[in-house]
Structure 1
Amino acid sequence: MLKFATVLLKPVSLVPTRSTTLRRTLPRQFKTYATNAKDFTIPKTRNIGIIAHIDAGKTTTSERMLYYAGVTKRIGDIDDGDTVMDYLAAERERGITINSAAITFGWQGHRINLIDTPGHVDFTMEVERAVRVLDGAVTILDGVAGVEAQTETVWKQASRYDIPRIAFINKLDRTGAAFGRTVKEIWKKLRTRPLVIQLPIMNEESMDERHKGLRALVDVVTMETVQWDPSHTDGSIITRTALHPDQSVYAEAVKARTALVEALAEMDDAIVDVFFEAAEGDHLLVPAHDLKAAIRRVTLSNKAVPVLCGASFKNLGVQPLLNAVIDYLPSPLDRPDALATYSSAKTSLIPLSDAKLCALAFKVVHDARRGPMVYVKVYSGKLNTRMTLFNTTTRLKERVNKLLQMYAKDVEEIPTIDAGNIGVIVGLKDTRTGDTLVQSNDTHAIKSGLQLSNIEIPSPAFFSAVEPASVSDEEAVETALKNLVREDPSLKVWTDEESGQLLVSGMGELHLEIVKDRLVNDFKVKADMGKMRISYRETCQASSEARAEYDKEVMGKRARAACRVEISPIEQEEQTLEEGWILNSGNQLSVADISQDASEKDPQMNPEDIKQAVQNGLLGGLARGAVLGFPLTKLKVKAFDLETFGPETTLGAISACVSNGVFEAVKKANPCLLEPMMEVYTEVNENHIGSVVSNLSGTRRGHVIGLESSMDDDNDVNDHVQVYAPPDSLLVSSDIEAYKPKQVIKAHVPLSSMLGYSSALRSLTGGSGSFSMRVIGYGEMGKDRERAVISEMKGW
């Protein structure tokens, strides 16, 4: 800790005492690429996303950003259904973000590529593929609700990619909002060091409820008050004035700046030198530009997160947030080089300055007029229009017809996409989410199988049957579903072998509801969706061994192969992977020994080809269980003693034989059903705890793990670190004193029991309760429950 001199309550002399007024620029031509391409270099580019819990204010904040940047002439409103970012009919109808929308705009000489992501748990795939390509993120928190469950989920998603973030505490205009409490929750729940660089100034004197709440803020870095002209309700006129000791918030601002300098000194050596040499040991004399530089360094290294405040709906705090994006979030040059892997299992880094093209397709959208639009981020080289590309994932060549810069649903045709930028390719027919694209003449990348790290795709939890209205509609329905699956890899489509039904699975009820809406409204097909069902899994409770022989005539030629398959359940203590085994969908597979033995018996066959054929057979056998045909998981499977019959043994025969062997072994190993288990966080008032816990543990067959207050202190989080958070009683209206923290109930509950929980919780808590959940795995179900599921699924 720095030893600082006694702080005198005196005005800071490093900032002007006169008022500075900032006005919004007039609306202009919003296209920022073709007209000003040379002005936006890589250091002046920011690829950022807005991530948060549902209803925290992501889209509202995005709309204000576009308005102040001059992109729009009026502020879009979710309630009016006229937002730029939520442009799909389903989004405007429901008032939520479903599709992550991208838009490019300019701010203070910088180009910002912004992606507004959904907050609903059903669309977690949209967040996953967005954070994969982002350089930085703005996390928006509800000042009333604090850090919510889905906030923690998206925060972990961003942490997996080490994305620098800034936090914006929103909705400080609402009764019950508490800035200081939310700062503490950032430290406690998100496990990150918050740096308070703004303080809210609340309006306590107004008798009119419409004018209560946030009215101004303190910029702790420059020690200025930032005020919005109340006569301009769009928040376009800002006045910055140096703080004076006579102001009521001055003493708290001094504490905040002292805490900021102290915190930075713990994480950044350069600011220590500035503190002793330039500021002579006075926290208030540390120059603002040195503080900004230090905040940027600790943010880029993910040591801390700057915390800002505002009320986007009331048009307060958005312009300083945009300034913080420029000041503290990274350009593509500030991010680590992209990691590439090769077919030889070697890895290397691809620097941004590399002249050879390397790009990642992270999103595909089907446009009725333009066809498939592939969103890409270019990690090196330059992507030009009419260029021929090679997809190292599908091993296919594709040609670029057009390159586009996106402005939500509007586009601008552009000639190139430079390294570090995000754009859209029109004309790629077979590229999917997660594919790596290189130039078709890059022989080294093509031969070596260069691959950028892929995007993790979550497993679907629900499924439903899709019924075309007539036989003539079948082809249109299948084509529409194919396009939807290409857009959203978390969707799965397959045909049930027994019933012949076309089935589609997704992340949740809302997810499949949106699929139905899009089939009918966007793709104009005549189809209906059946009852929502749970996507179960199967496993085995015992070990078994089976011998399978494949002997069939295929197209006039005999195909023969025989093998043995051994199967056993994975015990809890066997989670580590043994050498030579492969992990796939929760199963452990062994294919090494069998390929070597077979090639010794039949030298004409390539061991690698045999190995791949056996692996395909194992995966095919595990794709369909013996109880209800659901995929198998939590099993150790080994194929051995492969018998070959000369030219009659083909790779296809080996795969089919191994697949049959798996099925026979599963039937003898006491197969059973597994059901998706959810980790559920339910936030309720204290007087509703009993009824909610009783409902979760009784009616819904759940197991309550724990109960905690949203205000509990966590003594496990770095006790020696002092985190500054302003006292809410000093900065917020007196209404906050009556605020009682909610209780958070954590439980593990089967997904099937959570259907309709939203309505039940509203009834139990009088509408005051809220919950969120995520899949944590699959658990065994009781025999009675299993018999009921089998009876329901088979219809007898």
Structure 2
Amino acid sequence: MPFLNLGVVAHVDAGKTSLTERLLHEGGVTDHIGSVDAGDTQTDSLDLERRRGITIKTAVASFPVGQVTVNLIDTPGHPDFIAEVERALRILDGAVLVVSAVEGVQAQTRILMRTLRRLGIPTLIFVNKIDRPGAREQSLLRELAARLTPNILPTATVLDAGTANATIRLLGAAPADADFIARLVDVSGDPVLLSDWARDERSVPYDRLRDVLTARTRAGLLHPVFFGSAVTGAGVGELMAALPTLLPTTPGRADGPLSGTVFKVDRDDHGRRVAYVRMFSGAVHVRDRVPAVVTAIEAIEGGGGVRRPALVAGQIGKVHGLREARIGDTLGAGTVGGQIFAPPTLESVVRPRDPAEGRRLHAALSELAGQDPLIDLRQDGAELSVSLYGEVQKEVIGATLAEAYGIEVVFAETRTIHVERPAGTGCAGRTLGKDGNPTLATLDLRVEPGTGVTFALQVPVEQVPIHVFKAVELFRESLTAYVNEALTFGLFGWRVTDVHVTATRTGFVSPATRAADFRKLVPIVLREALERAGTVVCEPISRFRLEVPESTLGAVLAALGKFGAVPESSTAALVEGLVPAARVRALEQAIPGLTHGEGVLETTFERYDPRPRTSAASQSPSEIASFEREA
């Protein structure tokens, strides 16, 4: 049986989870339709999700549509949990982007659509809430074309929009749907079809048009638009029927090389790690070593997992036994690729209310970081800090620590994450038995500007302590890990990045030298090398896009400088440019007053730029945070 791995994505409150519940009910998975307000949804299973009425963790359920099994992946809509969305996008065959018929295209909607198009993920658009007062059709279609993509094709028209009786009429091959056919021919990109249709509109059979619609949609070049209401069910059946036709599926075959990706990590009732895996090719069986031994497999079927002997291409399941599994790990020849969305640009120090809980807090946060690598736990002495996308995520982490681990915590004020980059090249070293070297090891390191964090081992094999590390490659891997750990805190207290580190000399004494000697020596030597190279503190910069009424453009341009924003282009109603990420929130708060409530601001992470040294603030985390509060 073929599989369709389908993601449902949306701006928060567009009705994404309500649509998911309706699809699961129509697919026979649930006996009743769960409600976000009632807190009884199938996919929002965490107590925290139900209390808050938002999706926090990606959830998976499956249902059949004809001969196709649809694995439905429900993702968070709140931007604070964009990391969960990123993991889901890596495993999708297709997506449904939910847009509210009332609110229309919102900031997160645009970010999601840009990402889906960039990744080439075939996407259908579902316009939800046609039964709500203020629901729009034609003006919303123009908005979709202008703000998302011009390559849209309405598949239905709405009757009685904005009322409880709102319903839809499908468009198709009937003579009354000549506009639909003309639009499909226009966006098909098929010159022969266009020529045939222009010669005689009636000469193009509907089967040919349907094939064009399917091919263009599966290629991610055309986005059919469906209308409906997840609450009343109007239009949902039509969307459901179109899923296996318009979106690509994966044959459920076990042949081919093993290829799978871990996109979620959870814990079972005994606290053991469980990996959620999407299979792309081949099969993984119980007792396979990948590299740990698989002890059990639960294929996602209906609303939960069912014990099976194997997972095959296209399936999603829970794989037990992978005790060290982390999000992004691959099985066999799987690949993950680079980061899709921007990294978090905020962080906060977290402390236990009871100081005696420090070790337990570190263990709990380490486990959460294992499930979510973008949490990026940093430790400076007894102080722990975590990376964040926003305040809601901070509240959720606090609630999770209290409810799942029994640890009450307090957070320091959120601050903007900065990074350090080497300003030049620096070398340092320690020789065994000399210069007060506290270890039984020799190590020389060179640091220089690079891309990301890279490490090279350039020493002859006789300088490698084989009696400890067994092989040159294992020595290189261990030094790489020690270097990455040491770069957590640079000269000013920020993580060091865009640096290339080279070990140019190592030494040991056998059998006394141990791995701990190198682990202790790396941060000492690396710190000295960084001091000689110098580092530059860099702040995150966001790209902004600001739509404003033409009458307010002058006031807006005059005010942007107060927020450190630099316009790069402007028209009568649109300003684009760069702004320090630390000033985005203040800019957001000022826009309504500057634009009479009509301005629309969108921001996305752009890059890190050197932070100017001023007398108002130094480069350390605490003093930068103080400067940002005053600004």
Measure how far apart 1:493 and its partner are: 1.6
1:556-614 deviation line (CA, Å, top 9, x unaligned): 9962324352535x7xxxxxxxxxxxx424xxx5736x33xx34888989765665566
Counterpart of 1:72?
A: 30
Structure 1 residues 524 and 591, CA, compared in 2 at 3 Å: closer, same or farther? Answer: closer
Measure how far apart 1:198 and its partner are: 2.6
The answer to whether structure 1 residue 267 and structure 2 residue 149 are counterparts is no
Specify the SS of the correspondent of 2:109. helix
Measure how far apart 1:114 and its partner are: 0.6
The answer to whether structure 1 residue 103 and structure 2 residue 61 are counterparts is yes
Asked if the contact 2:432–2:440 (Cα under 8 Å) also holds between the matched residues in 1, the reply is: yes
Q: For residues 671 and 603 of structure 1, what CA distance do their matches in structure 2 show? A: 32
Unaligned ranges ≥5, structure 1: 1-40, 204-208, 224-242, 244-249, 334-350, 439-449, 571-582, 710-742
Counterpart of 1:431?
A: 325
Measure how far apart 1:507 and its partner are: 2.5
Counterpart of 1:365?
A: 266
Q: For residues 368 and 336 of structure 2, what CA distance do their matches in structure 1 show? A: 23
2:496 counterpart letter in structure 1:
L
- Correspondence list, 1:14-33, <5 A: none
Q: For residues 365 and 426 of structure 2, what CA distance do their matches in structure 1 show? A: 39
The answer to whether structure 1 residue 297 and structure 2 residue 215 are counterparts is yes
Asked if the contact 1:673–1:786 (Cα under 8 Å) also holds between the matched residues in 2, the reply is: no
1:777 pairs with one of 607, 613, 616: 607
Counterpart of 2:292?
A: 397
- Correspondence list, 1:232-251, <5 A: 250=176
The answer to whether structure 1 residue 673 and structure 2 residue 537 are counterparts is yes
Counterpart of 2:368?
A: 484
Structure 1 residues 683 and 795, CA, compared in 2 at 3 Å: closer, same or farther? Answer: closer
Counterpart of 1:506?
A: 388
1:691-737 deviation line (CA, Å, top 9, x unaligned): 65555431x3222344468xxxxxxxxxxxxxxxxxxxxxxxxxxxx
Measure how far apart 1:133 and its partner are: 0.9
Q: For residues 174 and 688 of structure 1, what CA distance do their matches in structure 2 show? A: 32
1:378 pairs with one of 275, 279, 282: 279
- Correspondence list, 1:411-430, <5 A: 411-430=305-324
1:58-97 deviation line (CA, Å, top 9, x unaligned): 2222222223334334433333433333333333333332
The answer to whether structure 1 residue 112 and structure 2 residue 70 are counterparts is yes
Q: For residues 114 and 289 of structure 1, what CA distance do their matches in structure 2 show? A: 29
Counterpart of 1:442?
A: none
The answer to whether structure 1 residue 465 and structure 2 residue 333 are counterparts is no
Counterpart of 1:493?
A: 377
Counterpart of 1:575?
A: none
Counterpart of 1:55?
A: 13
1:703 pairs with one of 549, 557, 566: 566
Counterpart of 2:623?
A: 792
Q: For residues 151 and 37 of structure 2, what CA distance do their matches in structure 1 show? A: 35
Structure 1 residues 564 and 95, CA, compared in 2 at 3 Å: closer, same or farther? Answer: closer
2:401 pairs with one of 516, 519, 522: 519
Q: For residues 694 and 421 of structure 1, what CA distance do their matches in structure 2 show? A: 55
Q: For residues 602 and 758 of structure 1, what CA distance do their matches in structure 2 show? A: 55
Give the CA RMSD over aligned residues: 3.9
Measure how far apart 1:56 and its partner are: 2.6
Q: For residues 101 and 412 of structure 2, what CA distance do their matches in structure 1 show? A: 40
Specify the SS of the correspondent of 2:398. helix
The answer to whether structure 1 residue 167 and structure 2 residue 134 are counterparts is no
Measure how far apart 1:261 and its partner are: 3.0
Q: For residues 558 and 216 of structure 1, what CA distance do their matches in structure 2 show? A: 76
Q: For residues 80 and 706 of structure 1, what CA distance do their matches in structure 2 show? A: 47
1:498-528 deviation line (CA, Å, top 9, x unaligned): xx11222222222222111111123332333
1:219 pairs with one of 156, 170, 184: 170
Q: For residues 679 and 548 of structure 1, what CA distance do their matches in structure 2 show? A: 42
TM-score, scaled to structure 1: 0.68
Unaligned ranges ≥5, structure 2: none
Measure how far apart 1:354 and its partner are: 1.9
Asked if the contact 2:297–2:310 (Cα under 8 Å) also holds between the matched residues in 1, the reply is: no
Measure how far apart 1:359 and its partner are: 2.7
Q: For residues 535 and 309 of structure 2, what CA distance do their matches in structure 1 show? A: 58
1:535-564 deviation line (CA, Å, top 9, x unaligned): 2211244x34333224369xx996232435
1:91-111 deviation line (CA, Å, top 9, x unaligned): 333333222221112234432
Measure how far apart 1:137 and its partner are: 0.9
2:25 counterpart letter in structure 1:
Y
1:727-773 deviation line (CA, Å, top 9, x unaligned): xxxxxxxxxxxxxxxx5543422222234665555666676655443
Q: For residues 665 and 151 of structure 1, what CA distance do their matches in structure 2 show? A: 46
Measure how far apart 1:196 and its partner are: 3.3
2:278 counterpart letter in structure 1:
K
- Correspondence list, 1:28-47, <5 A: 41-42=1-2, 45-47=3-5
Measure how far apart 1:625 and its partner are: 0.9
Q: For residues 361 and 601 of structure 1, what CA distance do their matches in structure 2 show? A: 38
Measure how far apart 1:309 and its partner are: 2.6
Structure 1 residues 138 and 608, CA, compared in 2 at 3 Å: closer, same or farther? Answer: same
Measure how far apart 1:364 and its partner are: 1.0
State, as a whole percentage, how many aligned pairs show the same letter: 26
Asked if the contact 2:463–2:508 (Cα under 8 Å) also holds between the matched residues in 1, the reply is: no
Counterpart of 2:419?
A: 537
Measure how far apart 1:485 and its partner are: 1.8
Asked if the contact 1:610–1:651 (Cα under 8 Å) also holds between the matched residues in 2, the reply is: no
Measure how far apart 1:684 and its partner are: 5.2
Task: Report 1 or 2 for greater relative contact order, CA contacts < 8 Å, sequence distance ≥ 6.
Answer: 1
1:439-461 deviation line (CA, Å, top 9, x unaligned): xxxxxxxxxxx443356375332
Asked if the contact 1:149–1:681 (Cα under 8 Å) also holds between the matched residues in 2, the reply is: no
1:302 counterpart letter in structure 2:
G
Q: Quick check: 187-196 or 374-383, which moved more? A: 187-196
Number of aligned residues:
619
2:241 pairs with one of 323, 327, 351: 323
Specify the SS of the correspondent of 1:133. coil
Q: For residues 412 and 603 of structure 1, what CA distance do their matches in structure 2 show? A: 48
Q: For residues 257 and 360 of structure 2, what CA distance do their matches in structure 1 show? A: 40
Specify the SS of the correspondent of 2:326. coil
Asked if the contact 1:118–1:124 (Cα under 8 Å) also holds between the matched residues in 2, the reply is: yes
Counterpart of 1:255?
A: 179
Specify the SS of the correspondent of 1:81. coil
Counterpart of 1:452?
A: 335
1:254 counterpart letter in structure 2:
A
Counterpart of 1:547?
A: 428
Q: Quick check: 600-609 or 283-292, which moved more? A: 600-609
- Correspondence list, 1:327-366, <5 A: 327-333=245-251, 353-354=254-255, 357-366=258-267
Counterpart of 2:154?
A: 196
Q: For residues 51 and 169 of structure 1, what CA distance do their matches in structure 2 show? A: 12
Specify the SS of the correspondent of 2:181. helix
1:190-216 deviation line (CA, Å, top 9, x unaligned): 45632333333455xxxxx746xx844
Q: For residues 428 and 234 of structure 2, what CA distance do their matches in structure 1 show? A: 71
Measure how far apart 1:115 and its partner are: 0.8
Q: For residues 617 and 475 of structure 1, what CA distance do their matches in structure 2 show? A: 22
2:623 counterpart letter in structure 1:
E
1:584 pairs with one of 439, 443, 452: 452
Q: For residues 366 and 22 of structure 2, what CA distance do their matches in structure 1 show? A: 36
Measure how far apart 1:308 and its partner are: 2.3
Specify the SS of the correspondent of 2:64. strand
2:505 counterpart letter in structure 1:
L
1:606-637 deviation line (CA, Å, top 9, x unaligned): 7656655665565455432111x2112344x4
Specify the SS of the correspondent of 2:377. strand
